[in-house]
Structure 1
Amino acid sequence: MTSKSYEPIPSRRVAFLGLGVMGYPMAGHLARAGHQVTVYNRTESKSIAWCSEYTRADGQKDAISYANTPRQAVQGAELVFCCVGNDDDLRSVVLGPDGAFAGMQAGAVFVDHTTASANVARELYARAKELGLNFVDAPVSGGQAGAQNGVLTVMCGGDKAAFEAAQPVAMAFSRAFTYLGDSGAGQLAKMVNQICIAGLVQGLAEAVAFGDKAGLDMNQVLDVIGKGAAQSWQLDNRGKTMVADQFDFGFAVDWMRKDLGLVLDEARRNGAKLPVTALVDQFYADVQAMGGRRWDTSSLIKRLK
C-alpha cells in the first residue's frame, strides 16, 4: 500500500467483511485513517494476518480486531463495509443468524462494494429497511492497484442520507464516492463501466495485433496515438504490456466474465441491445479455454496472435 493523506474526521467504529485482494487494502486504509476497525474473513488466517499488519494512525493496536462471524464483527459498528465475490457470497455474510444484519444496531449503514446484481442490491435494501437498517450498493472501479493506493472510484445507490453518512469515512480508500440514485443504481453504473471496458480492450487488442502484422514499432505507435483521440486508461496502462505479452497481473478474466454475465442478464431484463459486449464475453470464454482464467483482461490479444 502506498502512502496516502487522509482527511481528518472523527474516529468511527466500523466493520469490514471480506479481505480479498480488494477488501484487505481497503480495510487497511480505514485503519490508517484512524478508525476503529473490526474485520471478518471466511478464512480466519487472513483476518489474523491483517490485524498483525495494520495499526491506526495513532498507533493504537487495541482499535484493530477481528471476529469469527459477520454478526460478531458488526456489533457496535456505525458503518459496515463489505467486499466479497458474488450475490451468493453477499447473502451468506448478510443474512441468517450469523449474518451482519442480525448483529447491526438500529440505524447503522451497510455499504456493499461487491460487484453484484442490481436485484440482490434491491433485495438487501428492502430487507435492511424492514430491520431499521440502511443498505448502500457501492461497487468500485480501479482494480487492485486502486484499492492499494486508496484511489477507487465508487458508484453508489440507495438512500441519500445513508450515502452521506458513509461518504466521509469511505474517502479513506476512494478518489470519488458518488451518489447515483435509488437502490441498484450503483450496480447498474458498474455494469455501464464494464461494457465500456470490454469494447475498449477488444479494440486495443485488435489495434496492437494489426500494428504487429503491419511491421510497426507498436511501443512507438502507442506513444504517439496516446497523445491523440485514441488515448484511454486501457491504452496507457495495458497497451505496452499487450505488446510484451505480459498478463500475470491486474483484473482477472474470470472476474470479468462474472461481471459481463451480470451485464448480459440485466440487458435481457431491460431490453438493452449489447451485441459487442456479448461477443467480447465469448472472446473471454476463448481465453479461459486457453488457460487464461487468471490472466489480466488485456489477454484478449492472445486470441489474435
Structure 2
Amino acid sequence: MAKTAFLGLGVMGFHMAGHLAAKGHQVTVWNRSEAKRGDWAAQHKGEVAKSPADAAFGAEFVFLCLGDDPDVRDVFDQLEPSLGAGMIVVDHTTASAGLARELDERCRVKGARFLDAPISGGEAGAINGKLTIMCGGEEKAFKSAEPVMAAYGKSMTLIGESGAGQLAKSVNQICIAGIVQGLSEGLHFAEQAGLDAEKVIAAISGGAAQSWQMDNRWKTMVEGQFEHGFAVDWMRKDLRIALEAARENGASLPLTATVDQYYADVQAMGGQRWDTSSLIARLTRD
C-alpha cells in the first residue's frame, strides 16, 4: 500500500481520496475549506493536513484535483518544498499542457516525477471508482502510479510525454461539445415535429446515433432538468483551454468555438451550474 497525499476535495477529489483510503492506502488530505477536510475525515480513514506542504511531506504519491491553472500553480508552489527524490506528483485537474510541462520540469529539479492525468466520467464515475484517466509523462512513473490510481480509475492510458494527457482531455471535451449540441438539436427537432421523444430515442439509440450523452441525458434534457452533472462553468473552462491549445498548434475548431459561445448563452440564462446537457435550453426557451 502506498503513502499518498490528496490535495483538493471537490466534487471529484472527495470521492477519489475516499477510494484510496478504502483500498488500504495511507491517505493525507488537504483542502482550502477546513469544513470539507473535516467532512472527509469523518467519513474516511486518513489524516488531515493544514497545508499542501504538510500533506505532501514524506508521501510517495501526491495527487492534485483542483480547478484551473492558477489553482494548480498556487498549490504546487506551496507543496514544492516538500518534494523529494522518487516522489510522483499526479495532477488530475483539467489544466493546460503548458502548465503540465512546467511542473514536470520543476519536479525533475527535485528528483521527483510528474504526471498530468486529467479524468473523465463525472461525479458518478468518481463515486463509483470508474473514472477514465488520460496521462502524460514518463512510462516508469505511469507504471508506478497506475496500480494506485486503479483505486478510482477503470481505464488508465499513457498518451505520451508530459502535456499529452491534458491535450487528450481537450479532445474528449471537443467531442462532447459537438455531441451534446447535436443531441440538443435532434431532441428539439423531434419536439417541434410533434414526435414522441421516448419512441424516437428507442428507435435510434441502437444505431449510429447512439452516445453516452443520449443514453444518460435525453430524458432530463426533454424534461428541462439540469441540476446535476458537469457544470457549464467548468465546461467553458475546459473549452477555453482547448481553444487556446488549438491556436498554438494550428487546429481548426469552428464547431467547438461556436458551442463555447452557446454555453455563454446558457450562462447568461443563469445556468452557470447547470449540467452541460443544458445546451437544449437555448433552443426551448420562450
- Return the TM-score normalized by structure 1: 0.92
Partner of 1:8: none
1:100 Cα offset (Å): 1.7
Which stretches in structure 2 are left out of the alignment for 5+ residues? Answer: none
Choose which of 177, 183, 186 in structure 2 pairs with 1:204. Answer: 183
**How far, CA to CA, are the matches of 2:198 and 2:128 in structure 1?**
27
Partner of 2:41: 51
**How far, CA to CA, are the matches of 2:160 and 2:20 in structure 1?**
25
Q: Is the Cα contact below 8 Å between 2:232 and 2:263 reproduced in 1? A: yes
Choose which of 74, 91, 98 in structure 1 pairs with 2:73. Answer: 91
**How far, CA to CA, are the matches of 1:140 and 1:12 in structure 2?**
21
Superimposed CA distance per residue, residues 187-214 of structure 1 (whole angstroms, 9 cap, x where no aligned partner): 0000000000000000000000000000
Partner of 2:25: 35
Partner of 1:293: 272
SS of 2:259's equivalent in the other structure is helix
Question: Is it true that 1:122 corresponds to 2:83 in the alignment?
Answer: no
Question: Is it true that 1:23 corresponds to 2:13 in the alignment?
Answer: yes
SS of 1:176's equivalent in the other structure is strand
Partner of 2:91: 112
**How far, CA to CA, are the matches of 2:80 and 2:57 in structure 1?**
10
Question: Is it true that 1:140 corresponds to 2:119 in the alignment?
Answer: yes
Q: Is the Cα contact below 8 Å between 2:83 and 2:107 reproduced in 1? A: no
Partner of 1:190: 169
Partner of 1:70: 52
**How far, CA to CA, are the matches of 1:131 and 1:75 in structure 2?**
13
Partner of 2:255: 276
**How far, CA to CA, are the matches of 1:21 and 1:259 in structure 2?**
16
1:220 Cα offset (Å): 1.5
Question: Is it true that 1:258 corresponds to 2:237 in the alignment?
Answer: yes
Q: Match of 1:83, as an amino acid?
A: C
**How far, CA to CA, are the matches of 2:270 and 2:138 in structure 1?**
43
1:299 Cα offset (Å): 0.5
Q: Is the Cα contact below 8 Å between 2:107 and 2:113 reproduced in 1? A: yes
1:107 Cα offset (Å): 1.1
Counterpart mapping for 1:228-267 below 5 A: 228-267=207-246
Choose which of 148, 154, 174 in structure 1 pairs with 2:133. Answer: 154
Question: Is it true that 1:304 corresponds to 2:274 in the alignment?
Answer: no
SS of 1:255's equivalent in the other structure is helix
Q: Is the Cα contact below 8 Å between 1:219 and 1:243 reproduced in 2? A: no
**How far, CA to CA, are the matches of 1:192 and 1:206 in structure 2?**
22
Which stretches in structure 1 are left out of the alignment for 5+ residues? Answer: 1-10, 56-63
Q: Is the Cα contact below 8 Å between 2:84 and 2:110 reproduced in 1? A: no
SS of 1:212's equivalent in the other structure is helix
**How far, CA to CA, are the matches of 1:112 and 1:80 in structure 2?**
8
- Return the TM-score normalized by structure 2: 0.98
SS of 2:156's equivalent in the other structure is strand
1:180 Cα offset (Å): 0.7
Q: Match of 2:148, as an amino acid?
A: V
Deviates more, 1:46-55 or 1:111-120: 46-55
**How far, CA to CA, are the matches of 1:158 and 1:100 in structure 2?**
20
SS of 1:136's equivalent in the other structure is strand
